[in-house]
Amino acid sequence: ATVCNKLPMQQRIIYWRSLRCCHGNSADAQSSLTRNRHELRLVSKESLMWHPGHIHKGRKRINQKLAAVDAFVEVHDARIPITGRARLFEDSRAARPHALVLNKADLVAPSARASWKRFMEEREGPSSRVFHCSLRTSSAELGRTLTSLMSGLLQLASQFRPDKREFNIMIAGVPNVGKSSLINALRTYHSGKKAAARVGKLAGVTRVVGERILVCQDPPVYVLDSPGILDPEFKDDIGNMLKLGACGCMDLNQIDSQVIADYLLHLLNVRGERSYVKLYDLEGPVTDVRDLLAGICRKHRLVQAHRNFHTGQLVHGPNLVAGAQALLRHFNQGLLGRLVLDQLPSDLPADPPLPFAYSKGAAAKLHH
């Protein structure tokens, strides 16, 4: 704890892995924290490092293309409305119309969606529009959202450039939030044409700024797909990396999924979400991620073989990496509750501090 306290606040997130969720400054809360100080989780920044080269190239290409864009749509995950959003677009919002599309809204409770929409509309300013949608589902509500998105952007763009007869819109955002899916939905809804942008389940499918895609004919509206981008500074904030990893915005094959799973288990516990107990046939809530992952491996028969160096025999045991990836996959399918990982400023005291501390250059490990 002494070493951790010397680290910059941005580089350390400390939370105590306590199943008992006491909040605030009460005596019970402080007692709960004290009893669990031995369970501090130290996390190596290297265990969460993921910033492929195409992201850096994509940032440069987006900067070059922005001058010719009449408006841009920023697609983000509704569960992290603030975390991970690139600073690249902050200056652009003042110069051209902007829409924030919070995708995967089906993974957020309706009451939380309403609160966040009010907050984000005030935060984004008058030249922006905020929408919630779920691009994975085809519904009348999605159609209304697409209509409102396009009409709102064109109305604002016409005010900025009244002489324009055709419009160029850039679709941008962090990896794996549905940018290409939005382009395909707009193209199909407004012109009846098939998908034109490649989509995938993992982060990093789109790697270059694409050519113009016609999504509407009257007036002519073209969109540009772009690779998911992250600020270079994001890797210095462990909290952001954990949230982005939990929401699938980082390639789980390239980072330590067990660390993300540990964070997610803590979050489920402090938010009072116990659906994982029934989902994985556990006897009750757990605080040690290894117990949870072992239960997932039993439930889904996720085993791996390794050779015992003493006997030379093959031994089968739980595949904890596969278990962690299954946990995160189930979370992103909505099987573990509908949570917003970010918190509204008015709710910030509600969650206890988080059990991760920044541990530079060391492997992630549990200290008991």
| Poorest-pLDDT segment among 98-112, 117-131, 271-285 | 117-131
Q: How far is CA 316 from the centre of its chain?
A: 34
| Poorest-pLDDT segment among 107-116, 210-219, 244-253 | 210-219
**pLDDT score of 82 more than 60:** yes
Residue showing tokens 């757990």: 286
Q: What is the CATH number of the domain that holds 258?
A: 1.10.1580.10
| Poorest-pLDDT segment among 95-109, 257-271, 279-293, 341-355 | 341-355
**pLDDT score of 94 more than 60:** yes
- The pLDDT, as a whole number, for residue 208 is 45
How far is it, in rounded angstroms, from Cα 81 to Cα 275?
24
Are 77 and 184 contained in the same domain? Answer: yes
Q: pLDDT digits over 268-307, tens only?
A: 999 999 999 999 999 999 999 999 999 999 999 999 988 8
DSSP three-state, residue 220: strand
Domain boundary among 180, 211, 229: 229
Are 31 and 68 contained in the same domain? Answer: no
C-alpha triplet 291, 31, 348: angle, nearest 5°: 80
- The pLDDT, as a whole number, for residue 55 is 60
Total domains, the chain: 2
Q: pLDDT digits over 17-57, tens only?
A: 333 333 333 444 334 433 343 354 655 555 555 555 556 67
Mean pLDDT for the stretch of residues 50-74: 73
**pLDDT score of 175 more than 50:** yes
Are 171 and 265 contained in the same domain? Answer: no
- The pLDDT, as a whole number, for residue 15 is 39
Cα radius of gyration rounded to whole Å, the chain: 22
Give the pLDDT band of residue 136 (cuts 50, 70, 90): confident
How far is it, in rounded angstroms, from Cα 213 to Cα 202?
23
Domain containing 348: what range? Answer: 2-49+237-366
Are 217 and 89 contained in the same domain? Answer: yes
Give the pLDDT band of residue 118 (cuts 50, 70, 90): very high
- The pLDDT, as a whole number, for residue 112 is 94
